[in-house]
Structure 1
Amino acid sequence: MNLNIFRKQNVKTYLGEDIKFSRTLSAFDLIAMGVGAVIGTGIFILPGTVAATTAGPGVSLSFLVAAMICALAGMCYAEFASAIPVAGSAYSYGNIIYGEFTGWLMGWALILEYMLAVATVAAGWSSYFASFIKPFGLSLPKAISGPFDPKNGVYFDLVAVVVVVLIALLLAQGMKSSIKINNFAVILKIAIILIFIFVGLQFIKPSNYKPFLPYHMSGVIKGATTVFFAFLGFDVVSSSAAEVKKPQKNMPLGIIGTLAVAVVLYMGVSIVLTGMVNYTDLNVANPVAFALQYVHQNWVAELLSLGAMVGMATMMLTMIYSSSRLIYAMARDGLLPHHFSKFDKKHNSPQISLFVVTVVIALGSAFFSVNQLTNLVSFGTLFAFTLVSFGILRLRKRTDISNTGFKVPGYPVVPIISGLFCIFMMCQLNKDVFIMAAIWLVIGAIIYLVYGYHHSQLENKNSKAEEA
């Protein structure tokens, strides 16, 4: 049998199928989604720990360098989203540019990124919730307060499951109502971060900035490789392309705007934090709360716990949404059971794919301790980033794809540099991550060859698109 695993999807097919989505999202909605995904608990931890161990007060420059690298990949995503405004993000771009098998692997890697990220954050949200209710004399029974650990009498994490289900129920009502709540939550989260910056400015001691680069510029670069992962998540904005008003204009604004807001907040927290407390004292579990207690501002520290919970909730909302659209896109093409692509016209969303995603994530967050697997999230992201960056070179050569919107400046140098930087960042991950990632990709390849290839709708839909 002659296998053609690199057959390419016709862009007209996707544009024709995704027309059933309602285009309701604005540039502001996209930035709120992106910031919701990117700014989580990391903003309260990374600036302190990286300053203490790697970069000193120069950690703010580490965030700037990391943001500049992310911006390169962000521009590549923005051009794809402008040229091909369809659901599925990197999965759909890969199908059109590289061929079905490569597109499938990109989607399979993103499934790992999105679902594992949400399961991890749900478990973290549960921990924060437990500490949040403790001052009120409340606590959950030990049996339902953590991942499966029968030796210590813990069987599942009820709070993690409940928060995932509640967010999924919100998303099931449709994006119009979900995005309003998300926008409010993101504004609240940013307000709490700004309160910290405003309060902290009053306790800055200039002497804490000396020396500014105790580990020299090499420490800043090393710090950038660590904090780079704090920006991951902006790519989920591109998964909403089929639901965006004027995508050629708003998609680039959403992606680049997300990174701009994120770098300002990260750098702001870094500068204030290292000014409040000497960097050598910041290698603690929660450096921002520690700094506030150090200057006797405990009320702001309590407020930060609320900010962290809101931040994690917005991240989960965005990632669950993106996961459901990714599963929908794969099922739409026949690579997963077609049942998952059924569309609910009342709520303008793929409800079955949302249900499947919710069940998988809820089970993962309920029973598994996924801390040791979080680097896999980074691998899945960087794998997609690399192929999207180099994919711009192929996109520009396609005469059947017109793009009147955003284009990456400095072509072809910028896309190539972006891809090389992503490979460099991938090389910073440890060997265990590559072994687990290889196993995941092999499993994905087997599923494609056994099921996906034979159920693919690509050739049938392409012929219909050509006839139309």
Structure 2
Amino acid sequence: MNQLFRKKSIDQLLSETQGKSGLKKTLGALDLTMLGIGAIIGTGIFVLTGVAAARYAGPGLILSFVVSGIACAFAALVYAEFASSVPVAGSAYTYSYVSLGEFMAWIIGWDLMLEYLLAASTVSIGWSGYFQILLSGFGINLPVWATGAIGSSPGAIFNLPAVAIALIITLLISRGVKEAARFNNIIVFVKLGAVLLFIFVAAWYVKPANWTPFLPFGFKGVLGGAAVVFFAYIGFDAVSTAAEEVIDPKRDMPIGIIASLVVCTVLYIVVSLILTGVVPYQLLDVSAPVAFALQYIHQDWAAGIISLGALGGITTVLLVFLYGQTRVFFAMSRDGLLPKIFSDVHPKYKTPFISTWLTGIVVAIIAGITPINTVAELVNIGTLSAFVFVSIGVIVLRKTQPDLPRSFRVPWVPLIPILAAAFCLFLMFQLPLITWIRFFVWLAIGFVIYFGYGIRHSALPNPQSQNSQ
């Protein structure tokens, strides 16, 4: 039983980041902020705003973003303290390892793998849809067999664009994080420009009458909308997976995590306010609500630019999700819980080359043969559970290691971490029963792998064998 709760010391974690097993430190605060914005602004703002307004919250969608934003703000403070104190790849997995022990760390790492794999696959499929629409605008149409997975449309067999973009982004990430960050920064500026264009063009067409009734589905609808749009915030936690590759993590990690969340929350609230003011919420249940709103007010020229921005936005979301998955994979392998080959660092590129390509190929396969469906809830529950455990972990670490150097400290501990855990648990219970069943099935598979392989190959010594010596 002691094996399940053995913990890694922070000194041991930091020593592992040196030498051949360490990753190259090239990122700064701006890179981290852009990574966060790159992950957060994408599917959420360009797709989910319409669904959440039409089906759940109506004009009260801005309150849904506020509720989800509060939950993420509390969690962001917790992540910022951990990331500045434990600047090691692995995000919530690593933080749980030093505070809650190996078994809980495995559960969190397994959750994160579910989150990033499914999110990256889903985003790849979404990118394919936007790309095919863009091609059709130029009179170019792919062969029917290459437009989607079997069952997604008549004659479709394989989603070729989804596979292609997953492999292209994988190639970019495998060549070095700085190169990937430069690409991300450029695209982030493009999509921020697209969002600002929508705000400046559409704001003149707002009709306050469209905001009445403000809560057509009641406050329950606001909460249901909050559980849905939480997907829009997923990504700020991926910033923490980059901790080991940051030049000055104690300063830059808190800045990157908090700044990206603040920027995106403000933009979400402004866009949702304008969106529901321009178009009656009942009409917003469409796949591209922002572009639809511009077409609704006969600003088709701006709608075309927004579509390009959306395509770029989805591209950076895919980049950050793939990046986050590879770093969690790398950390779990380096700890011995997964085969060591997946933590090998490329001698030239200083990246976890094999695990990066394995992740990219798996994502490409899923995206190529799987019809897009309602996986957002499953991604959400994995992320929310990770937030809960990290929030508990910061309280535990304050008690067990009160003298640990912390360049950023969560205020009002344990109140803020408790509120973070409570908000996330509340949102988890807004998700449907089938999501919980699928989640427990995934956990059961993880238990089999851990007890069949991880517990016997862990890099940490067995406490019982130490005591017998």
TM-score, L = length of structure 1? 0.94
> For residues 274 and 73 of structure 1, do their structure 2 counterparts lie closer, same or farther at Cα, with a shift above 3 Å needed?
same
Give the letter aligned to residue 7 of structure 2: K
- Structure 1 residue 144: Cα displacement: 1.6
Identity between Structure 1 and Structure 2 (%): 46
The one-letter code sitting in structure 2 at the alignment partner of 1:27 is A
**Is 1:71 matched up with 2:70?**
no
Letter in structure 1 aligned against 2:229: V
Q: Report SS of the residue matched to 2:374.
A: helix
What does 1:15-414 correspond to in 2, within 5 Å?
15-19=14-18, 20-149=22-151, 152-215=154-217, 217-399=219-401, 402-414=404-416
Whether the 8 Å CA contact 2:230–2:380 is kept in 1: the answer is no
Partner in structure 2 of residue 12 of structure 1: 11
Partner Cα separation in structure 2 for residue 67 and residue 209 of structure 1: 21
Q: How far is 1:420 from its partner?
A: 1.3
Whole-angstrom CA distance in 2 between matches of 1:62 and 1:375:
16
Shift of 1:221: 3.8
What is the root-mean-square deviation of aligned Cα atoms in Å?
2.1
Shifted more, 101-110 versus 48-57: the winner is 48-57
Match for 1:220: what amino acid? Answer: V
Alpha-carbon shift at residue 281 of structure 1 (Å): 3.0
- Classify 1:212/1:376 alpha carbon distance in 2 versus 1 (closer, same or farther; 3 Å): closer
Q: Distance in 1 between matches of 2:270 and 2:359?
A: 35
Map of 1:436 onto structure 2: 438
Q: Secondary structure at the match of 1:346?
A: coil
C-alpha contact 2:228 2:377 (8 A) present in aligned 1: no
> Shift of the alpha carbon at 1:417?
1.3
Give the TM-score normalised by structure 2: 0.94
- Structure 1's unaligned 5+ residue stretches are 464-468
The AA in structure 2 aligned to 1:68 is: I
Q: In the superposition, relative to structure 1, how do residues 458 and 177 fare at CA in structure 2: closer, same or farther (>3 Å)?
A: same
Gaps of 5+ in 2: none
AA aligned opposite 2:423: F
Greater shift, 43-52 or 344-353, is seen at 43-52
Deviation at 1:136, TM superposition (A): 1.3
Supply the AA of the counterpart residue of 2:322: I
Aligned length: 462
**Equivalent-residue separation in structure 1 for 2:67 and 2:318 (angstroms):** 26
How many Å separate the matches in 2 of 1:163 and 1:181?
A: 14
Runs ≥4 in structure 1, deviation > 6 angstroms? none
Asked if 1 retains the 8 angstrom alpha-carbon contact of 2:44 and 2:233, the reply is no
C-alpha separation in 2, matches of 1:90 and 1:253: 18
Q: Note the C-alpha offset of 1:215.
A: 4.5
State the Cα distance separating 1:151 from its structure 2 match: 9.5
- Deviation of the 1:285 alpha carbon: 3.5
Q: Displacement, 1:52?
A: 3.1
Secondary structure of 2:87's aligned partner: coil
Tell me the alpha carbon deviations over residues 85-130 of structure 1, each in whole angstroms, 9 at most, x when there is no partner. 1011111111111111110111011000001100011011111111
CA distance in 1, matches of 2:52, 2:35: 26
CA distance in 2: counterparts of 1:213 and 1:152, whole angstroms = 39
Question: Cα deviations across residues 217-250 of structure 1 (Å, max 9, x unaligned)?
Answer: 5543443233223112211011011011221111
Deviation digits for residues 238-263 of structure 1 (CA, Å, limit 9, x no counterpart) = 10110112211111111111110111
